[in-house]
Structure formats: structure tokens, C-alpha cells
Amino acid sequence: MAQEEVQNGGVEKVAAVTFTALKPQLMVEAPKAADAVQFYKSAFGAVEVDRTVHPKRKAEQELPHILSAQLELAGSTILVSDTSESSAPLKTEGAGCVLCLETEDVEAAIAEAVSAGGVAEGEITEGDDACCGGRVGKVKDPYGYVWLICSPAKKCADVEA
């Protein structure tokens, strides 16, 4: 839009658009979104603040089709949605996304997630790996999403900004 001529193939411009929120949307195989919401509450203490169900399906089916459940977690918002005919391609189209949750108590967080039905994968490591140092463990939830439970990020000596 504001970009009329690009020299040397480089794109250097200031985006003119303001974004007010970023919300990861987790697509869950229908009709498991309600179960997934319950899992995120139990495993991570997420708080559901809103839920939109498909208006036409409520009377026909036992389980409402969740278009979008909005959860507050760690100061952020995530959306949990049942896949549908139209949204199903998103599940396969979207590249693998990992969700990093920072906490001071990695062990307890993983134990909570496992007691709620998650599966711990691998050992807790002292990372030079993802999430910029600190301790990192991995939990896969019953709906296919991978959560990294990390101690809070700290600045590393080896930073190029």
C-alpha cells in the first residue's frame, strides 16, 4: 500500500496497519473442542471468557459445534474451535505450531498437565534450545498440540538483534 517503489529488492517500510490483538486459534477435530477447553482449564488453569456455538446445529446435535471458545491463559488469549467442513483444511494447511508457556515451576506445571491427560515427552532440559535458555519440558496434549513448559526467558549473551 504505502510501498510504491522497492529498491535493491529489499522491502523496508513501516506497516501502516495497527493490530490490536494476536490470538492463536487451536483447531480441534470436531466435536472435541469442548473437551479440549476443559483440558486447558484443568492442565493450565485457563479461564474461558467466551464461547460461540453454531446456531443451526444446537437443536440438531447433542454436542454443540464450537465455532470459537475464547480462553485467557498467562495474560494471553487463545481460541479453541471445532473443525468444520470449511475450516478443516486449516488443520492440514497450518504448519506445526508450538505453544511456549513460561512458569517459575516447570516440574509442577508438567505434573499438572500430565494429571489432566497430557503426555510428557522427553526430559526437562537446560536449554540453549528454544525459548532462549532456561529449563524446558515438553507436553503433548490429547488434541495434538505441543506445549513447551519453560522457565522465563532471559537475555542470552549470544544475541543478535
Q: Give yes or no for residue 94 binding its own copies (CB under 8 A).
A: yes
Binding mask 43-62 for its own copies (x = CB under 8 A): xxx--xxxxxxxx-------
Helix axes 33-44, 106-115, angle to 10 degrees: 140
Binding mask 122-141 for its own copies (x = CB under 8 A): ------xxxxxx------x-
Chosen residue from 38, 63, 120, 135 binding its own copies by CB under 8 A: 38
CA 14 to chain centre: 27
Q: Give yes or no for residue 8 binding its own copies (CB under 8 A).
A: no
Chosen residue from 7, 16, 59, 123 binding its own copies by CB under 8 A: 16
Placement of cell 510504491 in the chain: 4
Encoded amino acid at 48, one letter: E
Helix H or strand E segment including 8: none
Encoded amino acid at 117, one letter: G
Q: Which three cell numbers, joined as nine digits, stand for 44?
A: 493450565
| Min CB(8)–its own copies separation in Å | 13
